[in-house]
Amino acid sequence: MRHSLPIVPQFYVTAPQPCPYLEHRQERKLFTSLQIDNAQRLNDCLSKQGFRRSQHVLYRPSCTDCAACMSARVNVHAFNASTSQRRIIKKNVGLTRSVTSPWATEEQFDLFRKYLAARHNDGGMADMDVFEFAAMIEETPIRTRVIEYRDGDQLIAACLTDILDDGLSLVYSFFDPDYASHSIGTYVILDQIALAADYDLPYVYLGYWVPGSPKMGYKARFSGLELFRGQSWQSYDPADNFDITLHPLNSTPIAEQVANLSLPEKDLRAD
C-alpha cells in the first residue's frame, strides 16, 4: 500500500532587526531548514509560496508592520524584451556562458570582492571572507549551478542559480563593475530568461521586489513580472497602489502562516 503524508519541517522566526531595504523599518523572517530528506521537493514547493533559499535555509519575510517585500518572478512565456533590453543583448553578444557545478573558485571570489567594493561596500556581505563565500556557493542540498559569463578568458559575471521544477531561481549574482556600461546585471537576467525558455521552464525567480527601494527598482523593468501577494501570484501592474504599511492587528500570527502553507507529500510504502 502507498500512504501519503505531508513533509513537516520545523519553522522558526528571527528576531526583529533593521531592514536592509527601507529606512526606519524592522524586518523579521519566517524560516526553515533544508537539512532534511526530500529537500529538493520542499524547496520547489515553498519557492512557489514566496520563500527564498540561502544555503541550507528557506526564508520568507514575516514583518509585523510592513508588507513591502514581495517575491518576484518573470513569466517566461509572457516576457517580451523591451527596446533597451534588446540593445543590451546585442551589446553583449560576444560573451560566452558556461554552466558549472556549485564549486567556488579564487577567480569568482576576486570578482565578488570587486563587485562588493564598488556596489555594496556597506552591506551585510562586505566582510565576507573566502570561506564564507565558498559556503554560499557550495552548501546547497538541491540542484544548483554556477553560471559564468566571460569576455574572452576574463570572468565578468557569475550567477548562483537553483533549478526548480518550474523554473530557475537566481540566488545571487555579481559582476565586474568595469562593465557597468554593458548593463551586465540586466544581461544576466535576460540570459537566464532565455535559458529557462530553452528548457521549457515557465518562470525565472528574481528574489524580492521592494517598492520604494532603489536597490530593487530594476526588477519592475521586466515584462511578465509576477509578485507573490496575498498568498497568490499576481501580475505586476505599475498603476497599482502598493500600500506597504501593515497594521499590527492585520499581521497574520506565525502559527496561522505556517498552517496555511502547502507542503509536499511524502510517500510511505508498506509491504
* pLDDT tens column, 160-196: 999 999 999 999 999 999 998 999 999 999 999 999 9
- Give bridge partners of residue 96 from the DSSP assignment: 150
Percent of the chain with pLDDT over 90: 64
Q: pLDDT of 34-78, one tens digit each?
A: 987 789 999 999 999 999 999 999 999 988 888 888 999 999 999
Within 13 Å of residue 218, how many CA atoms lie on the same side as its CB?
13
- pLDDT at position 120, please? 63
Q: Nearest to residue 264, comparing CAs of 42, 37, 10? A: 42
Percent of the chain with pLDDT over 70: 90
φ and ψ at 46, to 5 degrees?
-75, -25
- pLDDT at position 1, please? 45
- Grid coordinates given for 97: 556562458
- pLDDT at position 67, please? 81
DSSP secondary structure letters along 200-254 = T--EEEEEEE-TT-GGGGGGGGSTTEEEEETTEEEE--TTS----B--GGGSPPH
Residue 25, pLDDT above cutoff 60: yes
φ and ψ at 113, to 5 degrees?
-65, -40
Q: Is 0.85 surpassed by the pTM of this model?
A: yes
Q: Which long-range contacts (CB under 8 A, 24 or more apart) does 78-87 make?
A: 78/223, 78/224, 79/193, 79/222, 79/223, 79/224, 80/223, 80/224, 81/190, 81/223, 82/221, 82/223, 85/186, 85/190, 85/221
For helices 130-138 and 106-119, angle between their N-to-C axes, nearest 10 degrees: 110
What's the pLDDT band for 271 if we cut at 50, 70, 90? very low
- pLDDT at position 38, please? 87
Residue 3, pLDDT above cutoff 80: no
Residue 19, pLDDT above cutoff 80: yes
Higher pLDDT, 257 or 154: 154
What's the pLDDT band for 252 if we cut at 50, 70, 90? confident
- pLDDT at position 12, please? 94
User: Which three-class secondary structure state does DSSP give residue 194?
Assistant: helix
Mean pLDDT confidence for 147-164: 97
Q: Of 97-111, 131-145, 205-219, where does mean pLDDT reach its minimum?
A: 205-219
- 212: alpha, beta or left? (left if phi > 0; alpha if psi -120 to 50): left
Mean pLDDT confidence for 115-134: 80
φ and ψ at 218, to 5 degrees?
-65, -25
- Grid coordinates given for 206: 528574481
- Give bridge partners of residue 227 from the DSSP assignment: 72, 234
- Alpha carbon distance 157, 149 (integer Å): 5
Q: How confident is the prediction for the chain on average, in pLDDT?
A: 89
